[in-house]
Structure 1
């Protein structure tokens, strides 16, 4: 009977866990809807702004804006976008692993020299890098409590100021890009200096230059680029945070759905084991009763 009591306790425990995971799945599904709407609305604007800036900056010199100046990457800043909470499968582990691979493959010398800094957006990545004695700058864990463009711009502005002061020669952005609830694309983007578009074929260059002749820039092309570059940088960081936020809720919803299914399978197995043990106990009792009755009649 002690075995039966143990199985009953396990059934009760698993049932309780299943109710929690089911509730967490429903909460994440509701949050995912709002987060998805936010990134879907912003993404076309952010991509178009990035494309427009690339077309304009392709024809001007690097010295026209400090954010376009290419420098030797002696000091590197990695912006890692994670979440504040766990229970989202491998969501946080994957983005941290991607950032670590980036550092190991591209900036191992800077790391040995102590010139790799981390700006963490999310408690999980901040705790990870602080435990490993990285130079973690600032605390941005409260951003998700009120996620909007203004609050994100404060973080981006501090990164831009550091780049202008020469505190960083290159800034890389690592985050999960939202595709759907079951899939997130790990993305690494160079944030600063603003990368130039990839070289095109000669014919494409001629066509582009021919198209630009028809544009009228007021007050000037350089002034427009100077205005757009800081705005574009802030928009790209904001898009990355919204992407990561939607990805987090999608990953958590998927993880909790799988956990609920696994709990259901475990409950079936436990109930089967309980019924088998109960039947075995009843059979043993009946056998003992019959054996006792037979012994008494024999006397």
Structure 2
């Protein structure tokens, strides 16, 4: 059994770790609220943009497809992976990386064997994974998880759109964690390009007849890239807020585990101390008896 000094050192070490995990939990909670506010503030704009685009699609003829809607035989694939730069966030990153591997080995196995699958990594964990596997890495954008501004995301979105229009890629997928609540993230694997809309002409769908200035075609041509930029921005924000939620949950659990471990160590310490006192008393009594005899 460990001596009293070893147990005291262990208790001090666990308490120090508990302070760190508790502080990390509070930092993650603050970052979560800040990023969540960005999503909430963006939502009305994104919803209105989607509503306008839906109304445009209702009156659009089939021969008015935007180049970003062009469906081609998927020979060249680009996969965007969004993870975190840091660890200590539970299974947040592993879920994305496992889904990436599953997509590569099942959905795009033929393209992968022909070396026609490339990756854009947003987050250091994704970049490390792709480099370790020796997959084709198109670009790394680790700063977007730390400084997720619309301006920075727009530059990446524009590059991807230009590459798609130039037929460098026939299909673009994006894999990330979508935020549900602080304790739950929903894995999302969706097609980013070509852009696809399912517009249902229902009787209860509110339809607005717009007066277009300039022409409707020009507005449609400009609004599609804007919608794609907002979509990528929302995906990254969802991943970032999910990361903070996962880390906050993981650090809360670590703090609770440390608390339980300290209780157990204190109990062990008291038992060892009591045993030491008992042994000392026995030795004193035995010594006294020896002197009497």
* Match of residue 60 from structure 1: 61
| 1:279 maps to 2:274 | yes
In the alignment, the residues of structure 2 paired with residue 61 and residue 217 of structure 1 have an alpha-carbon distance, to the nearest angstrom, of 19
C-alpha spacing 1:185/1:43, structure 2 compared with 1 (3 Å): farther
* Match of residue 148 from structure 1: 149
Would the aligned equivalents of 1:54 and 1:197 in 2 still touch at CA under 8 Å?
Answer: no
In the alignment, the residues of structure 2 paired with residue 172 and residue 57 of structure 1 have an alpha-carbon distance, to the nearest angstrom, of 23
Alignment of 1:97-246 (within 5 A): 97-197=98-198, 200=200, 204=201, 211=207, 214-246=209-241
Superposed CA RMSD: 2.1
Displacement of 1:267 after TM fit? 0.4
TM-score (normalizing by structure 1) = 0.90
Displacement of 1:62 after TM fit? 5.9
Cα deviations by residue, 1:37-95 (Å, 9 ceiling, x for unpaired): 00111123224423433443464336632101100111111111111111111111112
C-alpha spacing 1:110/1:51, structure 2 compared with 1 (3 Å): farther
Displacement of 1:115 after TM fit? 1.2
Between Structure 1 and Structure 2, how many residues are aligned? Answer: 292
Cα deviations by residue, 1:142-163 (Å, 9 ceiling, x for unpaired): 2234321111111111111211
TM-score (normalizing by structure 2) = 0.92
* Match of residue 8 from structure 1: 8
Task: Give the SS at the match of 1:33.
Answer: helix
* Match of residue 261 from structure 2: 266
* Match of residue 290 from structure 1: 285
Task: Give the SS at the match of 2:167.
Answer: coil
The partner residue of 2:243 within 225, 244, 248 is: 248
Would the aligned equivalents of 1:152 and 1:237 in 2 still touch at CA under 8 Å?
Answer: yes
C-alpha spacing 1:206/1:43, structure 2 compared with 1 (3 Å): closer
C-alpha spacing 1:207/1:281, structure 2 compared with 1 (3 Å): closer
C-alpha spacing 1:97/1:55, structure 2 compared with 1 (3 Å): farther
In the alignment, the residues of structure 2 paired with residue 237 and residue 180 of structure 1 have an alpha-carbon distance, to the nearest angstrom, of 20
Would the aligned equivalents of 2:55 and 2:207 in 1 still touch at CA under 8 Å?
Answer: no
Structure 1 gaps of 5+ residues are: none
